[in-house]
Amino acid sequence: MTESENQFSPLLTTQQVSKMTSLTSEWYFRARKGGYGPPFMQITSRIIRYDRDEVLAWFRQHTTT
């Protein structure tokens, strides 16, 4: 990743995050409603976005070895 790509974290849709993490969009819906899962931004009642870096950080914190 280049420095300019790192400068701004892209905001991802639920579908993009789902594809990136191999979890279903339904899992993210339940996680939002249940209060668990990676942090998200609710732009409007129908528009949800995830910060890529925050999603990756959340997964790192929830990794067991």
pLDDT tier at 65, thresholds 50, 70, 90: confident
- Percent over 90 (pLDDT), the chain: 82
What was the pLDDT predicted at 55? 96
Phi and psi of 43, rounded to 5°?
Answer: -70, -50
pLDDT digits (tens, 9 = 90+) for 1-59: 555 445 566 999 999 999 999 999 999 999 999 999 999 999 999 999 999 999 999 99
Q: What is the mean pLDDT of the chain?
A: 89
CA distance 4 to 2: 5
**Amino acid, res. 26:** E
pLDDT digits (tens, 9 = 90+) for 13-28: 999 999 999 999 999 9
Tell me the whole-structure pTM to 2 decimals: 0.81
